[in-house]
Amino acid sequence: MYKRRIALIMSIVLVFSFLVACSNQKVEDASEKENENQEGSTEVEEGVKLEDMAGRRINLPDNVEKIFSTGPVGTILLYSLNPDKMVGWNYDLSEGEKDFIAEKYHDLPNLGGAGKESINIEEILKIDPDIVIALDTIDETTIAETEELQEDLGKPVILLDEDINTIDTAYNILGKVSDEEAKAEELASYCKETLEDAKKYSSQIAEDEKVDIYYAEGSEGLETEPAGSWHGEVIDLIGGHNVAEVEAGGSKGKAEVSIEQLLTWNPELIISWGDERGGYYAGIFEDPTWKDIDAVQNKEVYEIPNRPFNWFDRPPSANRVLGIKWLGNLLYPDLFDYNMKEEVKEFYDKFYHYNLSEKEVEELLGNSTR
């Protein structure tokens, strides 16, 4: 009887111990699983340091010292922010561009991405940038292309919106990425204020008071951009009346027109690519087929400044922000009441890291202001 009791007690103890052990194991397993989930969650959270303008969550390296832009629009932003972090250009710089760009950046390699030239993935990988940026119209196609490029490069690719109205956001994101937040805020604020002023001033211009303007592109001046187009956007922003009634020439622009169309439109003012750009500025005054246009008769034909980057477009980057002040002042000096010499000096200092001499300012504005 005694032995039976002992055996029963021992059995109860063994069963109880087993149950406790199982319970403890479950708690430990659950705890481990929770810890694993928490660690995984923390790892993801720590790895995601930025959301680009397409809403993509990007894992960034801790230290970003080398950056490449897939096109000139982004490259100009990079150059203005910190040229020391650029690893290359998208085309070979012209002599006119080199005049206003520090010599140590002249020999950065051409890695492609301008015009019809594709980026050189092989050469980019050799240089091994920490991140890549791409500026484009954000839609499903560009997002898919960006994802594909990121996979091909094995590098984070940050997609930013090319819209000039969001350029301040693009600058601030780049500032966070490159640890240049103070400089980015300075440039972003300048751009935002300029655009806000343009909207304020242009809203005060009655429709019948808008200046009729023609934008002359190409070697004969008979290519242009219509209202609402990406490349003619500065005219819209400052409240000009773009006379070109043509279809937009796609993403590359430059719709062809005839001299007969231009005579019918009869613009009050013409802005033109300069001769250095391969434009027709000088030819307009000499060409007898243009002589009956009001703008030519009244000598209201102006060369678009082009160094180091065109003030109006091509590439349509931060350089257009100065173009807004220039063209606004040219068409409506009472509203866009800027001292253009001082504005040009300030812009070149802030964005191009270049201190202009008085002579250089005079040359830039020589054929571009009244």
Q: pTM of the predicted model, to two decimals?
A: 0.86
Better pLDDT: 22 or 296: 296
Predicted confidence at residue 251, as pLDDT, reads: 66
Please give the CATH topology (third level) of the domain spanning 57-180: Rossmann fold (3.40.50)
* pLDDT tens string 154-200: 999 999 999 999 999 999 999 999 999 999 999 999 999 999 999 99
Predicted confidence at residue 252, as pLDDT, reads: 73
Q: Which CATH number fits domain 204-365: 3.40.50.300, 3.40.50.20, 3.40.50.1980, 3.30.465.10?
A: 3.40.50.1980
Residue 29: band (very low, low, confident or very high) from pLDDT cuts 50, 70, 90: very low
Query: In this structure, what are the phi and psi dihedrals at residue 48, rounded to the nearest 5 degrees?
Result: -85, 100
Residue 116: band (very low, low, confident or very high) from pLDDT cuts 50, 70, 90: confident
* pLDDT tens string 72-115: 999 999 999 999 999 999 999 999 999 999 999 999 999 999 98
Instruction: Dump strand ranges (E) for 157-296.
Output: 157-161, 212-216, 223-224, 241-242, 255-256, 269-272
* pLDDT tens string 140-149: 999 999 999 9
Predicted confidence at residue 207, as pLDDT, reads: 96
Tokens coding 252: 């590359």
Q: For the chain, what are the domain ranges?
A: 57-180, 204-365
Predicted confidence at residue 48, as pLDDT, reads: 54
- CA-CA distance, 248 to 11, in Å (whole number)? 90
The mean pLDDT of the chain is 89
For the chain, how far is it from start to end, CA to CA, in angstroms?
122
How many Cα atoms occupy the beta-carbon half-sphere of 86 within 13 Å?
25
DSSP 276-311: GGT--HHHHHH-GGGTTSHHHHTT-EEEPP-SSS-S
| Topology alike, domains 57-180 and 204-365 | yes
* pLDDT tens string 232-251: 999 999 999 999 999 887 76
